[in-house]
Copies of this chain bind each other. A is one copy, B any other.
């Protein structure tokens, strides 16, 4: 199972637009712009942007209408990666196959580059649509999501080394991944013209997909190799992290991911537009090898 064929082209459009939206190196303190671009433009799957654009399509809208919203989601995601990787939090040296931001630019700059990407994400979301009410919704969705994301990271860190617990791991994954994927799909839908019911269905699709995505990540962290992962394999277990694999083993985790994917697909039943892209993406999430 591979990604929808037009995704490579969408990824290029997202990367090009992110490069345009990132701050210039002609501004004061150009090192900040460089540090932001280093992490934001690192090769990545652009899962959140693609979901956002595909959700616009699912309500019969133009994916390009969701392009700036798509970029805002990736900027927010990258902010959270930079901060989570810091020595005082997860202390990771590698991200997307490259040294983490603080390894290249130092801790102080990494903290501030994360902050600046967070601010940029909000600014871009709030200017993603000409209609203030829709742009307002995009920004609010992102701000609420960021709050949940940060609390999920704290919960994750504080729960390391505790006995694996299904309710806890579900909560962490819903906060760290489900919320932002739900936001991505709802935002894309709204930027593409969704009504309230469609927006709610797309959010549900994204939340279920987010859980499946994170469960699949847990499985990959256990079964993948370093080349596939861009970081050391088995690192979650070594750290005593709360994961689906720790709670129910690899097979149990795979079955749980399948259930989430079924729920995600069911949420697409009444969409007025093209949902093949979102459906293909859902299958890809649990079949992917990296």
Contacts and interface: CB of A to CB of B under 8 A. Distances in A.
Contact of A126 (B27, B118, B123, B136): B136
Interface string A236-273: 00000000000000000000000000000000000000
A43 B258 CA distance: 51
A112 B114 CA distance: 11
A86 B112 CA distance: 11
Interface string A140-155: 1001101100110111
Contacts of A119: 118, 143-144, 146-147, 150
B89 A151 contact: no
Interface string A8-38: 0000000000000001000111011000000
Main secondary structure of the interface of A (DSSP, over half): helix
A165 to B, nearest CB: 12
Nearest to A155: B29
A112 B32 CA distance: 20
A225 interface: no
A100 B183 CA distance: 34
Interface stretch (A103-111, A211-219, A279-287): A103-111
Interface stretch (A60-68, A127-135, A192-200): A127-135
Contacts of A57: none
A173 interface: no
A222 interface: no
Given A106-B88, A150-B112, A29 B126 contact: no
A155 B28 contact: yes
A147 B146 CA distance: 16
A258 to B, nearest CB: 27
A171 interface: yes
* Residues of A in contact with B, size category: 35 or more
Contact of A139 (B23, B120, B140, B147): B140
B139 A132 contact: no
A32 B151 CA distance: 7
A109 B154 contact: yes
A122 interface: yes
A132 B140 CA distance: 11
Given A132-B132, A135-B136, 12 more contacts: A27-B151, A29-B154, A29-B155, A31-B154, A31-B158, A32-B154, A88-B106, A120-B147, A126-B139, A126-B140, A136-B139, A139-B143
15 contacts: A27-B151, A29-B155, A83-B111, A83-B112, A88-B107, A88-B108, A89-B112, A109-B154, A112-B150, A122-B139, A122-B146, A123-B143, A132-B136, A136-B139, A139-B140
